[in-house]
Amino acid sequence: MHPNIVILAGGVSSRMKKSAEHSIGVEPSLLREAQVKSKAMLGVGNGSRPFLDYLLFNVDQAGYRNLVIVVSESDNSIREYYKREQAARQFKQLSISYAVQPIPVGRTKPLGTADALLRALQSMPSWKGQSFTVCNSDNLYSRNALRLLLDDDHEHALIDYDRAGLQFNQERIAQFAVTKKDSQGFLMDIIEKPTEEEIRGAADRHGRIGVSMNIFKCSYDSILPYLESAPLHPVRGEKELPVAVRTLTAEHPRSVYTLPLSEHVIDLTSFGDIPAVKEYLAKEFPQFPTRRDLENL
């Protein structure tokens, strides 16, 4: 086990910013934050604790110790927050470092999740020969999911969420990438924006359909060349981590194992997600300290 994890927070949160512009009757403080901060830093938790605090809490509780957060060159909110003594004290078992994902000249946003992970690995040459987990910053993955990947002994793995266990509306669920596995549970394909036919074709012999929520375990040495060679998506113009994983799988069959899990994943993609996120955090983390509590520790 190598207790290493990368959290991808280098995006410009364009969907969050766009949805915030058209929101009515929301807290002015959150509207202001949505325009200048990473969405992971929105104060949706107890006493305006940022969303990312809750993910870091689960990361810590799952047993990870070495954390790289990929941040945008245009947003210092994450680094500034976790440099503060009270925030650092809350996660004193985590060794936190940062990798900056630049925005290339002529673009308005970075080059995507494969590029973000590449930046993280280039900043951590000491991880060569080791494994790590990588996940989004706008999903609250459970301690169970995080621990499953940490404990798994396959070189590469992903959490294969049961589509039926997700509590989003059907229109949203239909947009999630589905996974195709062989009879032994090894990944054969990740299908982004699947058609109805592709969704049906992804069902296993029990009718279960797996969904990828972009949380993977990878070998540093094995995944690196696929990040370096990841192509730009023809429509989105980004280098995407699932494409790198899919290419690895195509060239090395039975190299990525899928870990089945049936549970909901809290998602903070747009401003409309905030009420449900706040309700969940208040229910599941009732004793989580506020920012003021931390300052008084």
* pTM as predicted: 0.93
What are the helix and strand counts (H, E) for the chain?
A: 13, 11
Q: Which of 134, 102, 108 is nearest to 121 (CA)?
A: 134
**Residue 108 clears pLDDT 90, i.e. is over it:** no
Task: Look over the chain and give the mean of its residue pLDDT values, rounded to a whole number.
Answer: 90
Tell me what pLDDT residue 222 has.
98
For 92-161, the three-class secondary structure string (H helix, E strand, C coil) is: CCCEEEEEEECCCCCCCCCCCHHHHHHHHHHCCHHHCCCEEEEEECCEECCHHHHHHHHHCCCCEEEEEE
Q: Could you tell me which residue, 163 or 291, shows the higher pLDDT?
A: 163
Tell me what pLDDT residue 200 has.
94
Per-residue pLDDT, averaged over 260-273, amounts to: 92
Given a contact cutoff of 8 angstroms between Cβ atoms, the answer to whether 6 and 120 are in contact is yes
Cα separation of 3 and 130, whole Å? 9
Beta bridge partners of 258: 158
Residue carrying structure tokens 């609250």: 140
**Residue 295 clears pLDDT 70, i.e. is over it:** no
**Residue 26 clears pLDDT 80, i.e. is over it:** no
φ and ψ at 268, to 5 degrees?
A: -120, 70
Tell me what pLDDT residue 297 has.
57
Angle between helices 28-36 and 14-21 (to 10 degrees): 140
Which of 42-59 are b and which e, b meaning 16 or more Cβ less than 10 Å from the residue's Cβ? bbbbbeebbbbbbbbbbb
CATH fold group of domain 4-286: Spore Coat Polysaccharide Biosynthesis Protein SpsA; Chain A (3.90.550)
Q: How far is CA 13 from CA 18, 79, 126, 194, 268, in A?
A: 9, 17, 30, 24, 10
**Residue 105 clears pLDDT 70, i.e. is over it:** yes
Q: Which of 133, 127, 194 is nearest to 158 (CA)?
A: 133
**Residue 189 clears pLDDT 60, i.e. is over it:** yes
CA atoms within 13 A on the CB side of 201: 10
Q: Could you tell me which residue, 78 or 17, shows the higher pLDDT?
A: 78
**Residue 30 clears pLDDT 80, i.e. is over it:** no
% of the chain residues with pLDDT over 90 = 70
Per-residue pLDDT, averaged over 246-264, amounts to: 97
Residue by residue, DSSP assigns 221-286 as HHHHHHHHTPPPPTTT----HHHHHHHHHHHSTT-EEEEEE----EE--SGGGHHHHHHHHHHH-T
- CA angle (145 as vertex; 144, 146 as ends), nearest 5: 90
- Reading the block at residue 217, the tokens are 């375990």
